[in-house]
Structure 1
Amino acid sequence: MKDVTPLTDGWSLRHDQALLPAQVPGCVHTDLLAAAVIPDPFLEHNETEVAWVGRRAWTYLNDVSHDSRHERTDLVFDGLDTAAGITFAGREIGRTRNMHRTYRFDVTGLTGPLEVRFASAYDEAEAVRGVTGDRPNVYPEPFQYIRKMASSFGWDWGPTLVTAGIWRPVRLEHWSTARLASVRPLVTVDEATGNVEVRIQVERTAQGAGRSLLARATVAGKTAEARFEGDEAVLRLTVERPRLWWPRGYGDQPLHDLDVTLLDQDGELDTWHRRIGFRTVELDRSPDARGTGFTLVVNGERVFARGVNWIPDDVFPSRITPERYRTRLAQAADANIDLVRIWGGGIYEDEAFYDACDELGLMVWQDFLFACAAYPEEQPLRGEVEAEARDNVVRLMPHASLVLWNGNNENLWGFRDWDWEPGLAGDSWGEGYYLGLLPRVVAELDPTRHYAAGSPWSGSWDHHPNDPDHGTYHSWEVWNRQDYAEYRANVPRFVSEFGWQAPPTMATLRRALPGEILAPDSPGMLHHQKAEDGNGKLNRGVERHFTLPEGDFDRWHYLTQVVQARAVAAGIEHWRSHWPTCAGTVVWQLNDCWPVSSWAAIDGDGRPKPLHHELRRVYADRLLTLQPGDEGLVLAVVNQSATQWRTSVTLSRLEADGTQLGRSVLEATVAPRSVLRLPVPGGTVPAGSTAKEFLVADADGLRATYFPVPDKDFAYVRPDFGVEVEPVSGSGGKVDIVVNAHTLVRDLLLQADRLSPTAAADRGLVTLLPGEQVRIRVDGCGDVAADDVRAALFCADTK
């Protein structure tokens, strides 16, 4: 049986003439930080002070001794970041140039000093650029010339911290006769039968060549065996009436252990284990009267995808533990999200990410790692791209949660719209990857899944790559130049990116910028704002709806978070109300990789912004929304649940002081997975552009509001509300904050982290009518008084 020796301990990092303790897996930055050689690059302006780290070469050392009874010993690196030479016992055993691959070297009989020498990623990228020539990209960094996490080089939400190191586990594998080189389970469902076709490849030692081997696979109580003399075998298993894996909200997520064993006449040689799920996934891209659709169909059920984009959760990915993955993805599930798109400027995530998605019912859309640049297709990059794709398709394909492979992020769009084409003058730029190499690899290795060439992509060059009527669409004109109401200007077939910025929570800002007097344009705030004219866009977004506060950072901070939540909600409510024409929204973005003003719903310290709570509301199975349009004001009753929704919707036309001017009740019966659009009766539509009236729709505890004019023009009554603090018996220190409204209180928000950095509230923005009450449960705040709570409460209707 194969023996494995993890090489976790005993590593050192050479820094000048010193040897520092090194953590493996890890990276140079985290080792230097642990040794107090550099300051924390996430704080203040320290990012710029540590820029030199990415410009230098670095060496990791270990003394590796081993004594094996096996015929063969391999040194296996699951991840090397990035351009490295490996020397073992004084012999160079290999060189690498790809962060996203696994490397295996035959080190049989070798023992002694092990050195991994990393070149500066900048030096490697410039050397490749010298071979391939220049290509355009969106940032002045050479990330498209090296197969490395592109966002290491900075992004419009991330710092420039160019890493190096042994970022995934390393081990010695000792084996004899043969080992399992790859296992590819192709899982399909045919009517009531689950089928698992297990394709295996083996590697043999010289002594094992030609020997008869036995492969055995077991799943769900079924077993298949195949005896073979070559290097490949296929095992087929059938499971009658398996329980199906569903996205969250559609059913359960049963998973089954799939075990593969390789044997010869002397016993076990190697084993492999994963969990699989039985389900079908189709991508309906059929043309229709509106254009070309893009609808995921799981187990025959057409799905409106409630998605978010995912970036690496830390700019130093080796710090992301399985527990951290699960926490962040559980936050996604808590917000009623059912799809996570792994964006192409990051990494193929750790197995723990996909395991959590399998269990939580989060569909995974996996980009291949190309983003916002023209990528050369010449060597040495082309061979690396193919090897990387093959590695990761085989590694990830067992996961039931993985529903789509995607070729790139915005590169097809960039070629057409970002002035790349003239400068390229016929040079390669990646099209051969997206329309040739990658679909070929997916078709060969994972034919059970669909491949899309890019995001956005209309399906062919017959249409503009970012045509809202065809395929996937990125909506960025709104954040960059327009009010969020402009989301209602079109109905794309599938919105795979859109979003709005806001700063992180106050506790996160105070940790990242200790001692700074916070202002929108204070030095630390500007340094932790990476988007072009980011603060200008934030301010213009606020000014369209509110009086921009001068000299009041707390108010500015609150209003920017309110506008972020409202903006994203406006897009999702509009697009959901047009299901099935629009079949999904994927918000940019769920998470952050450091403390920064960004589009994220969860900030760099893991604290939810109001947007996270708003996603829970607008991504719920059932939603009420009031939609203005050319046909007048419409009530959309959205039912994404599996059961019919019969309800009475009360429409109340009110004055600012709460006086009722009109009332009507609409009976609604909405079929499962469908939307009912009803015109709002004339007597309950607020008059014209009135500044004194608004409309409220209520049904089954859900609420929608419609204000005809921006907040700054509305005749709000000065908000008046009472606050009480009630301990929750037997809860371990939780308290209920009880707010009783005496007037209209719009978008009330408790910023719980102002009470304590460890505090969290169970809800975000809430609008109360006069006489209404809300209970906000807070965990982790300790003993607080009502005055403390009042200082942490904000609302929109305060001039």
Structure 2
Amino acid sequence: MTSLKTFDLTTDGGAAWTVRAVDGPVPDGLIDRPVAATVPGEVHTDLLAAGEIPDPFDGDNESKLHWIGRTRWSYRTTFSWAADGNDRQELVAEGLDTVATVTLNGQEIGRTANQHRSYRFDVTSVLVAGDNELVVEFEGPVAAAEAERAKVGSWPHTNLHPYNELRKMASNFGWDWGPDVATAGIWQPIRIESWSGVRIDAVRPLAGADGVLNTFVSLAWTDTASEYATVTVEVGGTTQTASVKPGWDTVVLTNTVPEVDLWWPRGHGEQPLYDVVVTLADDSWTGRVGFRDITVNVAPDNDGTPFVLSVNGKPIYVRGANWIPDDAFVTRLNAETYRTSIQDAVDAGMNLLRVWGGGIYESEDFYDVCDELGILVWQDFLFACAAYSEEEPLRSEVEAEARQAVTRLSKHASLAVWNGNNENIWGYVEWSWRVPLAGRPWGAGYYLDLLPKIVAELDPRTPYSAGSPYSFDQFIHPNDERHGTMHIWDVWNQVDYTTYRKYKPRFVSEFGFQGPPAWSTLTSVVHDAPLDPYGSQMLVHQKAFEGNLKLERGLGEHLPVWKDIDDWHWTTQLNQARAVAYGIEHFRSLFPLNTGAVVWQLNDNWPVVSWAAVDGHGIRKPLWYALKRVYADRLLTVQPRETELVVAAHNDTDNAWTTEVTVTRRSTARDGEVLARETFTLEVPARSARISELPQSVAVTSNPTSEYLEVRGADGSTAHWYFAEDTTLELVADAYSTSITKTDGGYDVTVTATALAKDLALFPDRLDRAARVDSCLITLSAGETHTFKVTGALAPSEVGVPVLRSANELLN
């Protein structure tokens, strides 16, 4: 019989942790001085809590704190333990970041070199009754990565540090949106498990759409175990039991749930979840599963190679975003912060998040929320923008972490895709790696052999892709728009966003455009006086190469160059929103050739100018509101097709879409004169698209700078088309009036247009950092009104520039 006891080293036995700098470029007075530590935690957050360092996100503090990543750190605790009669004691460290030596009572019990896996050390002969001392000493991660490079050779990578030498979160070393704050610490729970006989080592419950749950239970035995063990699995009112003889390491139990309710992604059905309980004497495991099948169709067709994700046999049009770690210091995240951020995706109409390969295998909290809210998850294996050694010791670490990650996450209903890497196959083909590699293996063996074998063995119900982008054929360029998944990055880096319309991608898994965070977020960390796009602290919070110059170049002919910092902030936020919306509307107009778009990116991990839709303080940027519009279940958009204009309608619902559509050509002037009007009946079957040609009476203009198209469905759907860019469009400066009404939770701002008022936006955080608004980027024709609902602030007497903005005043 098993007898399992758990001793939590964060709470039990009076355990209190300290951290101290052992050696490195440490400021005077800190070397060897203990500082109170929180476990789980990170050295940066410990030093910050102790008042030893300033906020790493503020001003230019980031560079002042680079010494932390080159310093050796020692975490220490003493705890009191009493023998409990069990045969074996093991120290279980769920996550150590990263190169560490673990010592108990002065005896080394293990070494680690991988942030992305857990460790279990036998301490039976080292643990003593009474007081014990546990020390975990971490190498400075930057110094450790450089030392490894010196030992085994250099491998091509992006950014400053050789992050690809270690199995550690790549973006922790700095990225083109994130700070260089390479951390160390006990970042996951740590405990002692005391047991006899047999215990549960791991559980993999794999549920299918047929109601069958196959539960794979791995067991660990002591050498002296002699009794049979009974394993029981309960789910959905069913119970299965197996008797296992000593030494058997795996048992599989199959439960069949009658009349099972299937799990669906949001917008396609409900998300029923079933509790699973696995018991083994006094050891137990609990989790939740959703019964579903997920496939990806990449069978060649007449247009190339599709990428069609299907759930329970039903194709899903993917409306998604890339996800990065939600805080540069990931131990500050919890179930509440994850739910808030994932709700941003839900509220924007998304159905998929791609967990990018430079971050982490996301937490149970993240996956639990996605299970509950119906957000599909594409999980990258953790390889990003670099070549990786396939030799030891890295190869064994890669296999160990992959096996643990697949075992842990495979149960989740939301898990839709395992992906081998981010841009590494593309990098090998195009990023001049072959000369420095000199024929050495560079990671392809992981993506094309090791990882797909692990997925096939441990999670055969979840599709695998070798990379993103990937064309699903080794003889085709990995970023070919005709095949599989593609990334579009010439837009933003080199060319105007109108280039999106030159592509006809089957599936876009990365694309995006930058813009600054909310004004209150930006000014909370940037203190240049005067504030300037090229100020020294501003550039600390702009990590992209020539980022602010690209923001300026990216305006093109769309919007005028700013007159002051307020205009810079609004103009670049507006241009970001328009650029991304432009791309998505085009992609959706190609349905069913195009089967999905995953924008870069949903979230930020600190206050920064970036591609994110929601900034580092959780404020939704204008881009987020643009995404909400273009990711709506039903989308109307006006698109050019050769020599004509069309209305493209994408109906991503289970019901037919029938509505009367009115297309009006109007004047931009104060009266908003109607120059021509046509109506037609739009009929779009479920999960389908329709293209409707516009008659010449509305599609052709004699004065492109003073006319526009307004497209309205009787059901409230809308679209607009402009015959000229804003820089030549004749917009009235004072095109609207406003009124303010106090409400219980804040205030309403009602705007009434007297002429075309384009892209109205309200920024209440300029008045109160806690204030939020419900809508943004509202375009009104003469005579129309819109009410912005503001929460969390007292009503001002009036609002105007820069709190209330539109495109109109940028041009006047």
Structure 2 CA distance for aligned equivalents of residues 415 and 29 of structure 1 = 35
1:358-395 deviations in Å (ceiling 9; x for gaps): 00100000000000001111111000000000010000
SS of the residue 2:474 aligns to: coil
Q: 2:803 aligns with which of 789, 792, 799?
A: 792
Structure 2 CA distance for aligned equivalents of residues 791 and 88 of structure 1 = 60
1:271-296 deviations in Å (ceiling 9; x for gaps): 00110000110101121111000010
2:146 equivalent to 1:126: yes
Residue 132 of structure 1, CA deviation? 2.8
Structure 2 CA distance for aligned equivalents of residues 317 and 211 of structure 1 = 43
CA contact (8 A) 1:259 1:271 kept: yes
2:572 equivalent to 1:570: no
Structure 2 match to 1:501:
514
2:450 equivalent to 1:402: no
2:20 equivalent to 1:14: yes
Residue 791 of structure 1, CA deviation? 4.4
CA contact (8 A) 1:371 1:409 kept: yes
Structure 2 CA distance for aligned equivalents of residues 88 and 629 of structure 1 = 71
Residue 790 of structure 1, CA deviation? 5.5
Residue 697 of structure 1, CA deviation? 0.5
* Residue identity opposite 2:751 in structure 1: V
Summarize the alignment of residues 614-633 of structure 1 with structure 2, pairs less than 5 Å apart: 614-633=626-645
Q: 1:116 aligns with which of 130, 136, 144?
A: 136
Structure 2 CA distance for aligned equivalents of residues 163 and 11 of structure 1 = 17
Summarize the alignment of residues 628-643 of structure 1 with structure 2, pairs less than 5 Å apart: 628-643=640-655
Structure 2 CA distance for aligned equivalents of residues 213 and 50 of structure 1 = 53
Residue 718 of structure 1, CA deviation? 2.1
* Residue identity opposite 1:204 in structure 2: W
Structure 1 match to 2:471:
458
Mean CA deviation greater in 519-528 or 36-45: 519-528
TM-score of the two chains, using structure 1 as the length reference? 0.97
2:109 equivalent to 1:93: yes
Structure 2 match to 1:591:
603
Q: 1:523 aligns with which of 533, 536, 545?
A: 536
CA contact (8 A) 1:332 1:590 kept: yes
Structure 1 match to 2:461:
448
Structure 2 match to 1:372:
385
Summarize the alignment of residues 68-467 of structure 1 with structure 2, pairs less than 5 Å apart: 68-69=83-84, 70-109=86-125, 110-111=127-128, 112-190=132-210, 194-208=211-225, 210-229=226-245, 230-262=248-280, 268-467=281-480
1:217-260 deviations in Å (ceiling 9; x for gaps): 00000110111112221100001221111111111100000110
1:182-206 deviations in Å (ceiling 9; x for gaps): 111121123xxx1111111110112
Residue 301 of structure 1, CA deviation? 1.1
Q: Which runs of 5+ in 2 are unaligned?
A: 22-30
Cα distance change on mapping 1:140 and 1:68 into 2, 3 Å: same
Cα distance change on mapping 1:223 and 1:772 into 2, 3 Å: same
Structure 2 CA distance for aligned equivalents of residues 521 and 638 of structure 1 = 41
CA contact (8 A) 1:315 1:593 kept: yes
SS of the residue 2:397 aligns to: helix
* Residue identity opposite 1:774 in structure 2: H
CA contact (8 A) 2:77 2:134 kept: yes
1:468-499 deviations in Å (ceiling 9; x for gaps): 00000000001111111111111111000000
Residue 650 of structure 1, CA deviation? 0.6
* Residue identity opposite 1:203 in structure 2: A
SS of the residue 2:760 aligns to: strand
SS of the residue 2:257 aligns to: strand
* Residue identity opposite 1:242 in structure 2: V
CA contact (8 A) 1:175 1:269 kept: no
Structure 2 match to 1:48:
63
Q: 2:795 aligns with which of 779, 783, 793?
A: 783
2:791 equivalent to 1:773: no
Q: Which runs of 5+ in 1 are unaligned?
A: 263-267
Structure 2 match to 1:702:
717
Residue 727 of structure 1, CA deviation? 2.5
Structure 1 CA distance for aligned equivalents of residues 347 and 143 of structure 2 = 44
CA contact (8 A) 1:339 1:362 kept: yes
* Residue identity opposite 2:616 in structure 1: G
Residue 46 of structure 1, CA deviation? 0.3
Structure 1 CA distance for aligned equivalents of residues 644 and 475 of structure 2 = 35
Structure 2 CA distance for aligned equivalents of residues 72 and 789 of structure 1 = 70
Structure 1 match to 2:690:
676
Residue 351 of structure 1, CA deviation? 0.7
CA contact (8 A) 2:735 2:808 kept: no
Structure 2 CA distance for aligned equivalents of residues 42 and 354 of structure 1 = 28
Structure 1 CA distance for aligned equivalents of residues 7 and 699 of structure 2 = 72
Structure 2 CA distance for aligned equivalents of residues 158 and 185 of structure 1 = 36
* Residue identity opposite 1:207 in structure 2: T
Structure 2 CA distance for aligned equivalents of residues 644 and 702 of structure 1 = 15
Mean CA deviation greater in 43-52 or 685-694: 685-694
SS of the residue 1:18 aligns to: coil
CA contact (8 A) 2:562 2:571 kept: no
Moved over 4 A (4+): none
CA contact (8 A) 2:606 2:616 kept: yes
CA contact (8 A) 1:68 1:174 kept: no
Mean CA deviation greater in 420-429 or 390-399: 420-429
Structure 1 CA distance for aligned equivalents of residues 768 and 146 of structure 2 = 47
Structure 1 CA distance for aligned equivalents of residues 208 and 409 of structure 2 = 16
Structure 2 CA distance for aligned equivalents of residues 793 and 611 of structure 1 = 16
CA contact (8 A) 2:207 2:214 kept: yes
SS of the residue 2:500 aligns to: helix
Structure 1 CA distance for aligned equivalents of residues 547 and 159 of structure 2 = 16
2:555 equivalent to 1:542: yes
1:699-756 deviations in Å (ceiling 9; x for gaps): 121211111211011122223211111123xxx4232111111111000000121121
CA contact (8 A) 1:178 1:269 kept: no
SS of the residue 2:97 aligns to: coil
Residue 631 of structure 1, CA deviation? 4.6
Percentage of identical aligned residues:
48
Q: Kindly tell me the number of residue pairs found equivalent between the two proteins.
A: 785
* Residue identity opposite 1:684 in structure 2: V
Structure 2 match to 1:265:
none
* Residue identity opposite 1:664 in structure 2: E
* Residue identity opposite 1:343 in structure 2: W
1:140-191 deviations in Å (ceiling 9; x for gaps): 311000000000111100111110000111111122211111111121123x
- Give the alignment's Cα RMSD to 1 decimal: 1.3
Residue 93 of structure 1, CA deviation? 0.4
Structure 2 CA distance for aligned equivalents of residues 307 and 237 of structure 1 = 34
Residue 130 of structure 1, CA deviation? 3.1
Structure 2 CA distance for aligned equivalents of residues 286 and 543 of structure 1 = 40
